[in-house]
Amino acid sequence: VPTDVQEIIDNSCYGCHSTDSKSTKGKMKLNFDKLSDLKQGKLVSKLNRIYNAVNDGDMPLKKFIEKYPDKKLSDSQTESLKSWANDLIDKNGGL
């Protein structure tokens, strides 16, 4: 993961989507700590979900942003995450 994308993930995603998260639902849906362990098909599926959730403005969750406004993604951060996910999808054969 490029440094700039990792910083975005650390700031706006990792709190709910990591092994140490208190959000069971969040880490079950996506756990960034285990992303590299996924087989190609599952990885592409997760990356597509990341792309779509960020693109549609569904992530980070609105109620999370209300509580932590500093976690909201800027337009450039959204584009960086989408580009990263899309590049990995392409490198892994797409869907």
pLDDT digits (tens, 9 = 90+) for 69-87: 999 999 999 999 999 999 9
- Which of these, 33, 32, 67, lies nearest to 50 by C-alpha position? 32
Contact between 50 and 81 (Cβ < 8 Å): yes
Q: Kindly state the average pLDDT of the residues 20-39.
A: 93
Per-residue pLDDT, 93? 80
For residue 95, pLDDT beyond 60: no
Residue 62 pLDDT level (bands cut at 50, 70, 90): very high
Per-residue pLDDT, 92? 86
User: What is the pTM for the complete model shown?
Assistant: 0.89
